[in-house]
Amino acid sequence: MKRPFLGVTIFTVVIVLLFVYIGEVLTKVSGEAVKGAGHGVSAVGATPEAGEAIFWRKGACYTCHSVGRRGSSIRAPNLGESGPLNMPIGARAALRAQERTKQGRPMAATDYLVESLAEPGAYVVEGFKNEMPLVWKPPIALQPDEIKAVVTYLQSQGGTVDAAGIDKSPFLQKLKAAAATAAAEVAEAWKPYMPGDPKLGQEIFFSPESPVGCGKCHATKEKGGDVGPELTHVAATRTPQFILQAILEPSKEIASGFDSILIQTKDGRLITGIVKKEDVASITVADSQGQLQKIPKAEIAERVPQKTSLMPENFGEILTVKDLHDLLAFLMTLK
């Protein structure tokens, strides 16, 4: 299956389309937000039980965080006892609040937890990247009361639930003001975009004849490779713009845990890949074709971290405009 290459002019159009978005997508996102808003909150209040349901469902927090052995803590800290400081997040929050206070932003443990959801980039745990989406904006679009419920759930993990303290937090008040204007801002920034065919996009993703072969490195619903991030729920937490940027400019924001390294062996071989396993004797990396290579450490002359993604940078050149939007349409079904 051969596909025509994009010319310079058409490729420019693709880049412009990055900002020409959402019509029906915004309508769908808004509709889902309305359906899911307050799930477990309006009926029983902002309780840890309601927050737990949101954490593991609508909020999709589990796609990046774990609580103990449940979830996925590759990109973000584990919120259970096995996480940073070997403390569950409810207890850990007090120490994080002390750190934030020393940094010139006085706060209590409750404030830290609210801030971590309202302004996740304000404080990033060492060893992780600033890549958490704003959960009060689409596509997650949690309402303030839902965020309050999630905070009570986090407090219950080794700490004391303090719903009154959450209400008094200046960070919650700031969040409410921001959330009130978020929908209008998104509607103004996103415009209708070129529709795509998700079935054709799925073929482009998985077909061995596809010029991009996404399925060699990425998995959806346990189908595909595990070199890059799993994409089963990518549209539940990421906007169309973010996904398109990840396709066209994969090195602009590399997910935590998926940075590549360059290994030079003593016999002169060069191996680039993502570390999948390492022990005292060897290191196993996955290359851009999804193949695993195990290298004895005794054979390694040099190991250098790379600033570029293992994902090819030329998808904008080898996909037609239609192919690109079919692929995007498929990825937007992964929720």
pLDDT at res. 183: 61
Question: Which overall architecture, per CATH, does domain 8-17+193-254+312-331 show?
Answer: Orthogonal Bundle (1.10)
Residue at token pair 């009926």: 43
pLDDT in tens, the chain (335 residues): 444 444 433 443 444 444 333 333 333 333 333 333 334 454 447 899 999 999 999 999 998 999 999 988 788 999 999 899 999 999 999 999 999 999 999 999 999 999 999 999 999 998 889 999 999 988 888 999 999 999 999 999 999 999 999 999 999 988 888 877 776 655 554 444 578 899 999 999 999 889 898 999 999 988 998 889 999 999 989 888 889 899 999 999 898 889 999 999 999 999 999 999 999 999 999 987 788 899 999 999 999 999 999 898 999 899 999 999 999 999 999 98
Tokens representing 112 are 């830290």
pLDDT at res. 239: 86
Say which residues have a Cβ less than 8 Å from residue 183's Cβ, sequence separation at least 6. 30, 138, 141
pTM: 0.70
Q: Does domain 260-305 have CATH number 2.30.30.100?
A: yes
Specify whether the CB–CB gap between 273 and 286 falls below 8 A: yes
Name the residue type at position 69.
Answer: R
**Fold observed for domain 23-189:** Cytochrome Bc1 Complex; Chain D, domain 2 (1.10.760)
Residue ranges, CATH 2.30.30.100, the chain: 260-305
Residue at token pair 């009361």: 145
Specify whether the CB–CB gap between 265 and 300 falls below 8 A: yes
Q: Where are the alpha helices (DSSP H) in the chain?
A: 8-17, 23-36, 48-56, 89-102, 109-118, 144-155, 163-168, 170-189, 198-206, 234-237, 240-248, 315-318, 321-331
Name the residue type at position 267.
Answer: D
Specify whether the CB–CB gap between 109 and 93 falls below 8 A: yes
pLDDT at res. 99: 95
**Cα separation of 138 and 243, whole Å?**
13
Name the residue type at position 146.
Answer: E
pLDDT at res. 146: 95
pLDDT at res. 185: 58
The residues facing 264 across adjacent strands are 270, 302
pLDDT at res. 197: 94
**Cα separation of 12 and 312, whole Å?**
18
Tokens representing 245 are 């940027």
Residue ranges, CATH 1.10.760.10, the chain: 8-17+193-254+312-331, 23-189
**Cα separation of 177 and 20, whole Å?**
27
